Structures are given as C-alpha cells and as structure tokens.
Amino acid sequence: MTLKVLIVDDERLARSRLRRLLGECPEPATEVRAEAANATEALQWLGRERFDLILLDIHMPGADGLTLARLLREQVDAPRVVFVTAHAQHALQAFEVEAVDYLTKPVRKERLQAALEKVQRQLPTREAPEAADEALLIQERGRTERVPLDEVLYVKAELKYLTVRTATRCHILDGSLNDLEGRFGARFLRVHRNALVARQAMRALEKHHDAVEGDGWAVRLQGVDEALAVSRRQLAAVREALGAV
C-alpha cells in the first residue's frame, strides 16, 4: 500500500527536505501528491483529492496547523496527521487533536520512518486502492461529503468553481478541470474547454445551436436532461468514445 501524502509548511525548503526524506524511507511506500504553504491551500487540496497522511507544520500564516487538524477531525475518512515543527512545546495540544506523531525539526529519517509505520498500522487495508471507492471530496456549508466517481455524470467549469453533476444533485467543487482530467482521464472525457463528461454516461451526439459558437454538436448523457456542447476540436474524440461505450 502506498501512502498518499500532503505536505503543509510555509517554508519551501522545509517542504523540499520532507519530500527528499520520504524518498529515502524504504517502507511503507509514499507518494507526495501535493504541497501547500498554508491551511487554506491545504483545504483546497483536501477538497480535490484523497490523502492518507498530512505532514503538517504548526506555525504558518493565517490558520495554524492545530486549527487545521481540528477541522480535519470533523471530516469523514480524514487523513492521518503527523506534525512536523520546530516548536516542541505544542506536543500535548497535538495529541489532543489525535495526531499520530509529533516530529521536531530538523527531522531525522529514522523518526520519520517510525511515524510512517505508525500511520500504516492505523489505516484500514486497501486491497485495491484504485478501485471503485474513488470519490471527490465536496466541501459545502461546513460539511464534507464523498461523492463516488461512479455517480458523477459531468464536471463543468463555471466562473471560479466547478459544478459536479450527479443524477440527483449538483455540487460545487473548488478545483480545476485540468487536474481532474489528469487524474481521472480514464473515466471522463473532455468534450469542451469547460466540461468533462463520464464516458459510461454518454448516450448520443446530436446537432446543437450554441449562442457563442453557433451551430455545432452536443452530447446527451444518461440521467440528465441537458445536453453539453461539444467543441469542434473534441468532436472526433466524442464520436470515438460513443463507439466504445
């Protein structure tokens, strides 16, 4: 099992050192999926992706690491937290928010290795980490909800946010289409500069009039009434995908 790691520290050199040390730890295997310089950036990443572990600094601009850890305790299936800080005096508070370990800078490889092993022992076994339990973490109105990718029909960019559409609901996600396309390209197809659709939900390609682009094409999806515009650039890819469904 490979631990998916988020490093949160306002110092770039500290993040780079942790990334290097992780690469030197033989077991368990780790993959640094993202870095954040503050709690706000960390929450944005947590809304986009699932992590097993956060290596978390305490003293940062804005909300500190302890505040972020308290927020994580309210989430379902939250990642484990290991604090990495230059300040030893916060150890008691760290364990009050159920941190797995508390490392002081400069971090020794042996201590980081031991912390990783603790995290691995606490996590449930995942026999198929890339299987159908993949989900988007949606943060709305003070709560976090997992929306399984199997339920997502399309994702559309609207202003600064993404609309995630299922057969029954619309969700708002803070992220980018490029990021989702890179992570889940096997599941979703780019049909337009502002939209990804679930390949398995595609049912038909039809003529469509767009107020901006004029006459063109749109794709129909099972489970929703609306049709999504298809750009000329993506038309061939949509036709090919429909033939494979």
Whether residues 155 and 117 fall in one domain: no
Domain boundary among 122, 140, 161: 122
How many domains does the chain fold into? Answer: 2
Phi, psi of 230 (to 5 degrees): -110, 125
- 180 belongs to a structural domain: yes
pLDDT given for residue 126 in this prediction? 47
Provide the pLDDT for residue 32.
Answer: 92
Say whether the peptide bond before residue 79 is cis (omega within 30 degrees of 0): no
Which pair of tokens denotes residue 176?
A: 């980018």
- Among 80, 102, 107, CA closest to 3: 80
- The one-digit pLDDT tens for each residue of the chain (245 residues) are 689 999 999 999 999 999 999 999 888 889 999 999 999 999 999 888 889 999 999 988 888 888 888 888 776 678 899 999 887 776 777 777 778 899 988 999 999 999 999 998 887 654 444 444 478 888 877 777 889 999 999 999 987 789 999 999 999 998 888 888 888 888 999 999 999 999 999 999 998 766 455 568 999 999 899 899 999 889 999 998 887 55
Residue 80 lies in a domain: yes
Whether 160 and 211 map to the same domain: the answer is yes
Instruction: Write the CATH number for 232.
Output: 2.40.50.1020
Distance CA 117, CA 111 (A): 10
Q: What is the pLDDT of residue 210?
A: 60
SS3 113: helix
Whether 86 maps to a domain, the answer reads yes
Domain that holds residue 165: 151-244
DSSP secondary structure of 5-72: EEEE-S-HHHHHHHHHHHHH--SS-EEEEEEESSHHHHHHHHHH---SEEEE-SS-SSS-HHHHHHHH
Residues 29 and 97 placed together within one structural domain of the fold:
yes
CATH number for 89: 3.40.50.2300
The pLDDT score that the predictor gives to residue 151 is: 94
